[in-house]
Structure 1
Amino acid sequence: MKLAVLGGGGFRVPLVYGALLRDTARPRVDEVVLHDVSAERLEAIGHVLEQLAGDEREIKVHTTTDLDTALGGADFVFSAIRVGGLAGRTADERVALELGLLGQETTGPGGIAYGLRTVPVAVRVAERIAAVAPDAWVINFTNPAGMITEAMQSVLGERVVGICDSPIGLIRRSAAALGLDPARVSPDYVGLNHLGWLRGLSYQGRDVLPELLADDQALERVEEARLFGNEWVRTLGALPNEYLHYYYFARESIASITGRDLTRGESLERQQDRFYTAVRERPERALAEWEQTRRERDASYMAEARTGERDASDLEAGGYEGIALSLMGALARGEPSTMILNVRNGSAVPGVPADAVVEIPCVVTGSGIKPLATSPLDGRFLGLVQQVKAAERATIEAALTGSPRLAVAAFALHPLVDSVGTARLLFDGYRARIPSLAATFPG
Structure 2
Amino acid sequence: MQTRGLKVTVIGGGSSYTPELVEGLIRAYPVMPVRELWLVDIEAGRFKLETVGALARRMIDRAGVAIAVHLAFDRQAAIQGADFVLTQLRVGLLDARARDERIPLRYHRIGQETTGAGGFAKALRTIPVIVDICRDIEALAPGATLINFTNPAGIVTEAVLKHSSVRAIGLCNLPIGTRMQIAKWQQVDVSQVEIEVVGLNHLHWVTKAWVDGLDVLPQLLAEMAAVERMQHDQRVVAQAADRGVGADTGRPQNIPDIEFNPEFLQTLGALPCAYHRYYYMPDVMLAEELEAAANGGTRAEVVKKIEAELFELYRDPNLDIKPPQLAQRGGAFYSEAAVNLMTSIVTDRGDIQTVNVRNGSTLPFLPADAAIEVNCVIDAKGARPVDITAPVSPHMRGLLQVVKAYEELTVEAAVRGDRAAAWQALTVHPLVQSSDVAQRLLTDILNENREFLPQFQ
TM over 0.5: yes
Among 416, 419, 435, which residue is 2:434 paired with?
Answer: 419
Among 165, 169, 174, which residue is 2:177 paired with?
Answer: 169
> CA separation of 1:428/1:149 partners in 2, compared to 1, >3 Å: closer, same or farther?
same
Structure 2: which 5+ residue stretches go unaligned?
Answer: 1-5, 235-257
Secondary structure of 1:259's aligned partner: helix
Secondary structure of 2:317's aligned partner: helix
Among 245, 249, 256, which residue is 2:281 paired with?
Answer: 249
Secondary structure of 2:110's aligned partner: coil
Residue 141 of structure 1 is matched in structure 2 by 149
Secondary structure of 1:148's aligned partner: helix
> CA separation of 1:258/1:39 partners in 2, compared to 1, >3 Å: closer, same or farther?
same
Residue 428 of structure 1 is matched in structure 2 by 443
- Structure 1 residue 57, shift from structure 2 partner: 4.6
Secondary structure of 1:284's aligned partner: coil
Output the TM-score relative to the length of structure 2.
0.87
1:282-301 pair list within 5 angstroms: 282-284=315-317, 291=323, 293-298=325-330
Residue 255 of structure 2 is matched in structure 1 by none
- Structure 1 residue 174, shift from structure 2 partner: 2.3
Contact kept, 8 Å, 1:347 with 1:373, in 2: the verdict is no
Residue 372 of structure 1 is matched in structure 2 by 386
Contact kept, 8 Å, 2:138 with 2:166, in 1: the verdict is no
Give distance in 1, aligned partners of 2:196 and 2:420. Answer: 38
- Structure 1 residue 50, shift from structure 2 partner: 2.4
Q: Does 1:358 align with 2:358?
A: no
- Structure 1 residue 335, shift from structure 2 partner: 2.3
Give distance in 1, aligned partners of 2:356 and 2:306. Answer: 30
Contact kept, 8 Å, 2:35 with 2:66, in 1: the verdict is yes
Amino acid aligned to 2:13 = G
Question: Which deviates more from structure 2 when the two are superposed, residues 239-248 or residues 172-181?
Answer: 172-181
Among 5, 13, 25, which residue is 1:8 paired with?
Answer: 13
- Structure 1 residue 283, shift from structure 2 partner: 4.5
Residue 30 of structure 1 is matched in structure 2 by 35
Residue 130 of structure 2 is matched in structure 1 by 122
Among 213, 235, 258, which residue is 2:290 paired with?
Answer: 258
Give distance in 1, aligned partners of 2:169 and 2:21. Answer: 17
> CA separation of 1:240/1:25 partners in 2, compared to 1, >3 Å: closer, same or farther?
same
Residue 216 of structure 1 is matched in structure 2 by 224
Residue 337 of structure 2 is matched in structure 1 by 323
Residue 333 of structure 1 is matched in structure 2 by 347
1:33-52 pair list within 5 angstroms: 33-37=38-42, 38-52=45-59
> CA separation of 1:358/1:124 partners in 2, compared to 1, >3 Å: closer, same or farther?
same
Residue 239 of structure 2 is matched in structure 1 by none
Residue 423 of structure 2 is matched in structure 1 by 408
Residue 159 of structure 2 is matched in structure 1 by 151
Secondary structure of 1:149's aligned partner: helix
Q: Which structure has greater helix proportion?
A: 1
Give distance in 2, aligned partners of 1:398 and 1:284. Answer: 46
Deviation per CA, 1:44-63: give whole Å up to 9, x if none.
11122123224325110000
Contact kept, 8 Å, 1:127 with 1:155, in 2: the verdict is no
- Structure 1 residue 179, shift from structure 2 partner: 3.4
Give distance in 2, aligned partners of 1:98 and 1:358. Answer: 31
RMSD: 2.1
Residue 302 of structure 2 is matched in structure 1 by 267
> CA separation of 1:291/1:181 partners in 2, compared to 1, >3 Å: closer, same or farther?
closer
Give distance in 2, aligned partners of 1:346 and 1:165. Answer: 23
- Structure 1 residue 440, shift from structure 2 partner: 2.8
Secondary structure of 1:52's aligned partner: helix
Give distance in 2, aligned partners of 1:279 and 1:99. Answer: 39
Contact kept, 8 Å, 1:190 with 1:360, in 2: the verdict is yes
Amino acid aligned to 2:368 = A
> CA separation of 1:408/1:295 partners in 2, compared to 1, >3 Å: closer, same or farther?
same
- Structure 1 residue 20, shift from structure 2 partner: 0.5
Give distance in 2, aligned partners of 1:73 and 1:386. Answer: 39
Give distance in 2, aligned partners of 1:292 and 1:364. Answer: 31
Contact kept, 8 Å, 1:326 with 1:337, in 2: the verdict is no
Give distance in 1, aligned partners of 2:302 and 2:405. Answer: 31
> CA separation of 1:27/1:293 partners in 2, compared to 1, >3 Å: closer, same or farther?
closer
Contact kept, 8 Å, 1:432 with 1:438, in 2: the verdict is no
> CA separation of 1:273/1:139 partners in 2, compared to 1, >3 Å: closer, same or farther?
same
How many residues are paired up? 421
Amino acid aligned to 2:373 = E
Among 392, 416, 428, which residue is 2:407 paired with?
Answer: 392
Contact kept, 8 Å, 1:117 with 1:437, in 2: the verdict is yes
Contact kept, 8 Å, 1:185 with 1:201, in 2: the verdict is yes
Give distance in 2, aligned partners of 1:364 and 1:292. Answer: 31
Structure 1: which 5+ residue stretches go unaligned?
Answer: 299-314
Residue 242 of structure 2 is matched in structure 1 by none
Give distance in 1, aligned partners of 2:128 and 2:382. Answer: 27
Amino acid aligned to 1:35 = V
Percent identity over paired residues: 36
Contact kept, 8 Å, 1:39 with 1:64, in 2: the verdict is no
Secondary structure of 2:259's aligned partner: helix
